[in-house]
Amino acid sequence: MPTLWIGTNNKKKRAELERMLAPLGFTLRTPDQLGRPFDPVEDQPDFAGNARAKASALARLAGAVALADDSGLCVDALGGRPGVLSARYGGPGLDDRGRLLRLLGELSEAPDHRRTARFVCSLCVCGADGRVLAAIEDVCEGTLLRAPQGEGGFGYDPIFVPVEFAGDPTKTFAALDAATKDRLSHRGKALRRLAATLPGLVAGGPAEA
């Protein structure tokens, strides 16, 4: 089976990627199998730049094709925050729950019609030399609840209701089954768009000039 490295240290995100990539038949390898540290700096101004930095760094370290994801939540009432800082919002002292509660606090005065948001996912595939082979970005529109609902997912999933279930607070990303979330999510959409070309890229497609 062809090998694909996936560049994330987030166990729950890695589980989603592994689940959605399973039908393509790759042998998936992760940074903890490198035998050396993998902690790229995510200091780019957009998701695409961070995905590219992670994919390129991992591909060079592994000497093989690598796929990286950068994703996050953009809230209209907060001018697009937390955006690229979604996983680090509020500083290193907060966990997923702490970041979610901070966000809810910032939105406490926002009326329901202004609680619109979207999850964004950028994917980047790089060849062994670190050059970009493919880059795709997709989104999932939705609204934010005033309190968490559901026990699944991670990050801001417990307060995000995708637009397909608008008006039903029981249908957050944290409450949906995996198949439904994968069908609607930003990451699922981006991976499906990439799936048609990814096998050829892993087998050794030409790098982007």
Ordered by where they begin, the domains of the chain are 3-204 (3.90.950.10)
pLDDT at 75 over 90: yes
* Residue 130 falls in which region: left (phi positive, over 0), alpha (psi -120 to 50) or beta: left
**Selection from 27, 24, 22, 70 nearest residue 48 by Cα:** 70
Contact (Cβ atoms closer than 8 angstroms) between residue 176 and residue 158: no
Percentage of the chain with pLDDT > 90? Answer: 78
pLDDT at 209 over 60: no
3-state secondary structure of 174: coil
pTM comes to 0.92
**In degrees, to the nearest 5, what angle opens at C-alpha 60 toward C-alphas 59 and 65?**
25
Q: Is 22 exposed, middle or buried (0-12, 13-18, 19+ CB in 10 A)?
A: exposed
* Catalytic center residues: 70
Minimum mean pLDDT range among 3-7, 33-37, 155-159 = 33-37
pLDDT in tens, 129-183: 999 999 999 999 999 999 999 999 899 999 999 999 999 999 999 999 999 999 9
